């Protein structure tokens, strides 16, 4: 059956379409060119006056895996005021900062999102991460495998193994954990914390392996690049949350020697240490550097005020963060010679100087980075705020009056130390479409997502334009996933399961020889059992695998 | 897997029968019987090798077709106002199915071992903790304190796999590794055979362990204690141990919530986890919990991601409603607040049905002993023997894909429950 979306105003940056009236045709889950006159149109949606974009893509959202599940268990109070009843088509669940997998999938779809990427999958925990993603309905999923703190990699680096061997290992990890990319968190720092090191700057050495974060970053970004993994190395840098950390962030940008690199939740890494309170915005310098270095992309990790929970692999800095836990409970875990995790509940207060300035810094970054193709909209869900705040964040970006109204309510000292009031920029719908669709799809190498051209997957969101952009983006009129109508007026109407994007980079299987030995000796797990088989996602998880090509 | 005419040989077989999920078993199959050839503990040998009697589904003790047993189960649940979906000795897909059924039936879901699990979960939900996993202990720990467990009795391969490895990443001089036992009736023999220093044994009742750790915490902070003796432990011994705590590079305290079986044991877990947090101000320390067998950790994790809560969840109001007291399966059974029981035990745990007349449905592996007569009995396959599946290890991080070793005439738990859910109208 052919479905026609008739007369809507289309924003499709990949194909250069900026607010033009276009008809869109869907057949067998794909967008097709205008069919022959004779072709039968099975259903037509009259979308005159509506705004059409492809389904939105969240490039960085903690939706599955050990630390998220620990956060769920730790915080019954997070869910109690946001219970979700079962309906004839949807399962029961709960929402807020760490929603149940089921509710997370529904709410993303209801908000017009059709793909979500879990950014911190520990290879040791990959199987469970995929189980949780399998139970996240409707949206497509994918995950970045965490490397750079695992003892196997650090051993290789310490032994000065050549890049080819490192590449083999990285490719092996991608395949055995069914990942779509590679992430590094506090390069070497999670490992160093296991040796009781509490700080690790870009050129400090891990006390045991004697390698620096800089070496780790270069080695991993080169591997990602040389293997043709589309998404650049996804980097959570050194010194998260530390006043003055803008210096290590700037050094990191310079230090990667022109290789492609994605700096994630950069808001948390854009702090100066000036002023009476030794805490200031570094956004202008960071934005300037990002503007200059075309090899760099970022996502912001905007904070928004209210209760949330921080869940991170960065044990070193989550330990320091625990003094600010709200409510007063926290957990930390060293994991399997692989990495670690820390969960610290947190309440961002608009009257608190530091929190208010963090809010302003995030917005300063959004407004000062020129190229929307290299900056993605995230709150680092749930670390800066739950993903359900995205419509509010979009309004802050698109509506200067609203932004300034909000600015006038936050901590006065923070407001006056920020340049936010002087920033006139308002994002356009086209730029929002870039930042939430076209750019993340391009960055992840998803050629048939994030756009509305012929051949694209029919992941489509239809909005009613409204002066209040929060209202506009909160409840799209229609959301189609692979051509099926899944949500209408902000409510799920049909549940699908979504797929899992992965890669199959080439590698020399000789690497398994040393891995077998390493796993036998140290991890005490059989290599064959460590690897996540395809049928665990397809048969046991009842999902589908979508293999994306590498781009060598 | 190699195959000749009569026998099959399976290697790298994960064992689902305790929460360590050792994955190096070698098992051979000859005709209908399995034999653990290498690397199995006593429990693994018993469970893999035990003869599964020929049984069929029953209703009121009379053999019936599976379809009838499924329809009858749906009917019983349909009639109930507060059913317990319990036992939950199953794998990830079994849990997925159980949660779907619980939701549809507006029932309560809780695992058979949740009393033990909540000794940890209460602490997690009130204070949080610092934990570690098996490979970290194996490679990094230079001080290991067994608090109320010897690890060996219930997890027979713990020493072989974790304490006595021939290699470690970090050169802990094995002779320098110190093991300490605190508690009652602990078997320190394996530690005596370990290459490390002579183990320290501090004898006290299990319910005094909390007090011992409180004193260690106070001593660590630098407070003076004037109580001379706790259990059979002298204050001077605790002072010496305090020095060891501070000298450790990577200390680990291991407990087994199931073996801290006395009232308010969660407070003992809390004293342990709080001293661990404190010691992390100076050095590295972490806790490790041994528990979650019979699918306990798997049940907790799956329930958490699908409902938001670890266990003891009611769906009577249409949404997941968590209350660690009200929705404890054990309590609901004791206070006669249930009008149907749905019990799953596919991994071997025996079943005790209550004496009172409450309609009961049992899904169990054929060899599982049932004390009492269920209204509906449905034999099921065993995950990791009769069908593949996934299970989660005691640390809640690592999971395994189970292998299918031999056919069974019985379907798996997930399959049966999904059919009951479908029949439930």
**Do A212 and A189 form a contact (C-beta atoms < 8 A)?**
no
Residues of chain A contacting residue B319, judged by C-beta atoms under 8 Å apart: 83-86, 92-94
**Do A69 and B301 form a contact (C-beta atoms < 8 A)?**
yes
* d(CA B173, nearest CA chain A) in Å: 15
* Cα–Cα dist A422/A400, whole Å: 10
Q: Is the dihedral of CA A451, A455, A461, A465 positive or negative?
A: positive
Grouping H, G, I as helix, E, B as strand and the rest as coil, residue A116 is strand
Token pair for A289: 């550097």
Q: Which residue has the tokens 């049932």?
A: B370
Contacts of B115 (CB under 8 A, 6+ apart): B328, B330
In this structure, whether the domain defined by B55-113+294-423 belongs to CATH 3.40.50.740 is answered with yes
Q: Is the pLDDT of residue A196 over 80?
A: yes
Query: Quick one: average pLDDT of A474-484?
Result: 98
Q: How confident is the model at residue B5 (pLDDT cuts 50, 70, 90)?
A: low
Closest CA to A236 of A130, A334, A339: A339
Grouping H, G, I as helix, E, B as strand and the rest as coil, residue B401 is strand
Token pair for A14: 């990949």
Of A101, A332, A536, the CB nearest to B130: A332
Angle among Cα B396, B397, B403 to the nearest 5 degrees reads: 90
* d(CA B253, nearest CA chain A) in Å: 13
Closest CA to A333 of A97, A124, A100, A96: A124
Q: Is the dihedral of CA A313, A319, A324, A328 positive or negative?
A: positive
Task: Test B305 with A69 for CB contact under 8 angstroms.
Answer: yes
Which residues make beta-bridge pairs with A343? Answer: A311, A331
* A351-355 LR contacts (CB < 8 Å, sep 24+): A351/A410, A351/A411, A352/A411, A353/A277, A353/A279, A353/A411, A353/A413, A353/A414, A354/A277, A354/A279, A354/A414, A355/A303, A355/A305, A355/A411
Task: Test B170 with A208 for CB contact under 8 angstroms.
Answer: yes
Superfamily of domain covering B118-289:
Dimethylsulfoxide Reductase, domain 2 (3.40.228.10)
pLDDT in tens, A505-541: 999 999 999 999 999 999 999 999 999 999 999 999 8
Residue-level pLDDT at B192: 82
* Cα–Cα dist A349/A305, whole Å: 6
Residue-level pLDDT at A241: 96
Q: How confident is the model at residue B172 (pLDDT cuts 50, 70, 90)?
A: confident
Q: How far is CA B136 from the centre of its chain?
A: 20
Contacts of B216 (CB under 8 A, 6+ apart): B238, B241, B242, B245, B275
For chain B, the distance separating the N- and C-terminal CA atoms, rounded to the nearest angstrom, is: 44
Query: Quick one: average pLDDT of A437-450?
Result: 98
* Cα–Cα dist A366/A425, whole Å: 9
Helix, strand, coil proportions of chain A in percent (round to 5)? 40, 25, 40
Q: How confident is the model at residue A130 (pLDDT cuts 50, 70, 90)?
A: very high
Kindly give the pairing relationship between strand A460-464 and strand A50-54.
antiparallel
Query: Quick one: average pLDDT of B328-357?
Result: 95
Residues of chain A contacting residue B166, judged by C-beta atoms under 8 Å apart: 521
Q: Is the pLDDT of residue A480 over 50?
A: yes
Residue-level pLDDT at A552: 66
Task: Supply φ then ψ for residue A205, to 5 degrees.
Answer: -105, 140
* Cα–Cα dist A377/B164, whole Å: 49
| Percent residues over pLDDT 90 in chain A | 99
Query: Quick one: average pLDDT of B320-329?
Result: 98
Residue-level pLDDT at A541: 86
H-type alpha helices, A399-458: 400-407, 412-417, 429-433, 439-444
Task: Test B169 with A524 for CB contact under 8 angstroms.
Answer: no
pLDDT in tens, B100-144: 999 999 999 999 999 999 999 999 999 999 999 999 999 999 999
Q: ipTM of the assembly?
A: 0.98
Q: Is the pLDDT of residue B354 over 70?
A: yes
* d(CA B77, nearest CA chain A) in Å: 18
Residues of chain A contacting residue B103, judged by C-beta atoms under 8 Å apart: 86, 91-92
Task: Test A92 with B167 for CB contact under 8 angstroms.
Answer: no
Q: Which residue has the tokens 């032994």?
A: A159
Residue-level pLDDT at B31: 84
Q: Which of B127, B308, B319, B413 to substitute to test the interface with A, most A CBs within 10 Å?
A: B308
* Cα–Cα dist A460/B29, whole Å: 53
* d(CA A338, nearest CA chain B) in Å: 9
* d(CA A174, nearest CA chain B) in Å: 17
Lowest-confidence region among A208-217, A256-265, A380-389, B191-200: B191-200
Q: How confident is the model at residue B1 (pLDDT cuts 50, 70, 90)?
A: very low
* Cα–Cα dist B30/B39, whole Å: 18
User: Looking at the whole model, is its pTM more than 0.90?
Assistant: yes
Closest CA to A74 of A349, A332, A385: A332
Q: Which of A73, A341, A537 to substitute to test the interface with B, most B CBs within 10 Å?
A: A73
Query: Quick one: average pLDDT of B231-254?
Result: 96
Which residues 342-371 in chain A show a CB within 8 A of chain B?
343
Task: Test A98 with B308 for CB contact under 8 angstroms.
Answer: yes
Token pair for A440: 């993340």
Residue-level pLDDT at B195: 81
In this structure, whether the domain defined by A54-492 belongs to CATH 3.20.20 is answered with yes
Radius of gyration of chain A (CA): 22
Q: Where are the domains of chain B?
A: 2-48, 55-113+294-423, 118-289
Kindly give the pairing relationship between strand B340-345 and strand B360-364.
parallel
Task: Test A128 with B397 for CB contact under 8 angstroms.
Answer: yes
Q: How far is CA A501 from CA A133, A245, A448, A486, B20, in A?
A: 11, 34, 12, 20, 31
**Do B380 and B6 form a contact (C-beta atoms < 8 A)?**
no
pLDDT in tens, A349-399: 999 999 999 999 999 999 999 999 999 999 999 999 999 999 999 999 999
Ramachandran class of B87: left when φ > 0, alpha when ψ lies in -120 to 50, beta otherwise: left
Q: Which of A141, A191, A192, A529 to substitute to test the interface with B, most B CBs within 10 Å?
A: A529
Closest CA to B272 of B107, B114, B119: B119
A549 and B CB contact within 8 Å: no
Angle among Cα A165, A171, A175 to the nearest 5 degrees reads: 145
* Cα–Cα dist A54/A207, whole Å: 48
């Amino acid at each position: 059956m052919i479905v026609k979306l008739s007369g809507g105003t289309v924003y499709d940056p990949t194909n250069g379409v900026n607010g033009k009236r276009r008809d869109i045709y869907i057949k067998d889950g794909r967008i097709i060119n205008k069919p022959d006159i004779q072709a039968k149109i099975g259903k037509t949606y009259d979308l005159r006056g509506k705004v059409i974009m492809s389904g939105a893509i969240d490039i960085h959202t903690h939706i599955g895996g050990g630390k998220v599940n620990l956060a769920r268990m730790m915080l019954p109070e997070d869910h109690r005021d946001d219970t979700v009843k079962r309906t004839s088509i949807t399962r029961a669940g709960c929402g807020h900062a760490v929603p149940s997998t089921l509710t997370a999938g529904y709410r993303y779809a209801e908000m017009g999102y059709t793909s979500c990427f879990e950014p911190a999958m520990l290879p040791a925990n990959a199987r469970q991460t995929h189980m949780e993603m399998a139970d996240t309905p409707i949206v497509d999923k994918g995950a970045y495998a965490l490397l750079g703190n695992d003892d196997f990699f650090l051993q290789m680096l310490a032994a000065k193994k050549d890049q080819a061997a490192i590449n083999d290992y990285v490719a092996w990890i991608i395949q055995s954990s069914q990942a779509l990319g590679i992430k590094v968190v506090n390069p070497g720092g999670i490992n160093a914390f296991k040796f009781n090191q509490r700080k690790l700057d870009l050129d400090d050495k891990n006390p045991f392996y004697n390698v620096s974060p800089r070496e780790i970053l270069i080695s991993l970004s080169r591997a990602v690049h040389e293997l043709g993994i589309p998404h650049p190395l996804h980097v959570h840098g050194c010194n998260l949350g530390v006043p003055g950390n803008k210096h290590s962030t700037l050094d990191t940008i310079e230090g990667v020697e022109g290789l492609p690199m994605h700096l994630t939740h950069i808001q948390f890494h854009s702090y100066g240490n000036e002023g009476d309170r030794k805490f200031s915005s570094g956004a202008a310098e960071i934005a300037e550097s990002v503007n200059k270095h075309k090899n760099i992309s970022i996502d912001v990790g905007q904070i928004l005020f209210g209760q949330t929970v921080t869940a991170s692999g960065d044990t070193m800095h989550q330990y320091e963060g625990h003094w600010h836990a709200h409510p007063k409970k926290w957990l930390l875990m060293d994991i399997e010679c692989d990495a670690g995790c820390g969960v610290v509940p947190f309440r961002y207060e608009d009257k608190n100087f530091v929190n208010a300035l963090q809010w302003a810094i995030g917005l300063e970054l959004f407004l000062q980075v020129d190229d929307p193709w290299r900056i993605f909209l995230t709150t680092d869900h749930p670390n800066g705020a739950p993903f359900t705040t995205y419509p509010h964040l979009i309004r802050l970006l698109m509506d200067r009056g609203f932004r300034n109204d909000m600015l006038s309510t936050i901590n006065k000292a923070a407001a006056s130390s920020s340049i936010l009031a002087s920033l006139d920029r308002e994002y356009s719908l086209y730029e929002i479409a870039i930042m939430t669709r076209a750019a993340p799809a391009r960055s992840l190498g998803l050629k048939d997502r994030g756009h509305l051209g012929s051949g694209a997957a029919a992941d489509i969101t239809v909005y009613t334009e409204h002066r209040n952009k929060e209202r506009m983006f909160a409840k799209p009129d229609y959301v189609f996933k692979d051509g099926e109508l899944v949500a209408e007026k902000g409510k799920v109407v049909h549940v699908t399961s979504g797929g899992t994007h992965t890669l199959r980079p080439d590698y020399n299987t000789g690497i398994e020889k040393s891995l077998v030995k390493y796993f036998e000796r140290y991890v005490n797990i059989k290599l064959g059992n460590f690897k996540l088989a395809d049928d665990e996602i397809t048969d046991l998880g009842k999902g589908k695998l979508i293999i994306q090509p590498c781009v060598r | 897997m190699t195959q000749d005419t009569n026998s099959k040989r399976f290697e790298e077989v994960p064992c689902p029968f305790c929460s360590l999920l050792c994955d190096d078993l070698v098992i051979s199959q000859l005709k209908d019987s399995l034999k653990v050839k290498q690397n199995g503990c006593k429990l693994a040998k018993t469970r893999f090798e035990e003869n599964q009697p020929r049984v069929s589904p029953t209703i009121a003790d009379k053999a019936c077709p599976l379809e009838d047993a499924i329809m009858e189960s749906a009917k019983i649940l349909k009639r109930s106002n507060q059913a317990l979906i319990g036992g939950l000795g199953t794998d990830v897909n079994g849990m997925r199915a159980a949660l779907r059924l619980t939701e549809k039936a507006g029932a309560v879901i809780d695992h058979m071992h949740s009393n033990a699990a909540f000794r940890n979960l209460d602490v997690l939900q009130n204070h949080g903790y610092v934990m570690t996993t098996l490979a970290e202990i194996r490679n990094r720990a230079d001080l290991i304190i067994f608090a109320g467990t010897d690890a060996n009795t219930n997890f027979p391969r713990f020493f072989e796999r974790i304490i006595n490895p021939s290699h470690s990443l970090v050169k802990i001089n094995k002779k320098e590794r110190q093991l300490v036992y605190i508690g009652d009736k602990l078997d320190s023999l394996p530690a005596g055979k370990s290459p490390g220093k002579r183990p320290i044994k501090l004898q006290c009742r299990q319910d005094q362990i909390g007090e011992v750790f409180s004193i260690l915490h106070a001593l660590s902070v630098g407070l003076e204690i004037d109580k001379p003796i706790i259990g059979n432990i002298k204050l001077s011994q605790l002072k010496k141990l305090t020095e060891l705590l501070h000298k450790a590079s990577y200390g680990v305290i291991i407990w087994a919530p199931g073996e801290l079986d006395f009232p308010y044991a969660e407070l003992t877990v809390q004293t342990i986890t709080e001293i661990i947090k404190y010691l992390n101000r100076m050095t590295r320390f972490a806790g490790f919990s041994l528990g979650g067998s019979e699918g306990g950790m798997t049940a907790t994790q799956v329930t958490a991601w699908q409902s938001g809560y670890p266990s003891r969840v009611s769906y009577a109001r249409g949404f997941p409603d968590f209350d660690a007291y009200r929705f404890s399966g054990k309590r609901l059974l004791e206070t006669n607040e249930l009008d149907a029981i749905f019990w799953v035990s596919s991994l071997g745990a025996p079943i005790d049905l209550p004496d009172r007349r409450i309609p009961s449905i049992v899904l169990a592996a054929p060899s599982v002993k049932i004390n009492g007569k269920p209204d509906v009995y449905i034999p099921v396959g065993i995950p990791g023997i009769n069908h593949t599946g996934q299970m989660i290890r005691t640390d809640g991080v690592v999971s395994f894909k189970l292998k299918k070793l031999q056919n069974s005439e019985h379907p798996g738990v997930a399959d049966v429950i999904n059919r009951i859910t479908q029949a439930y109208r």
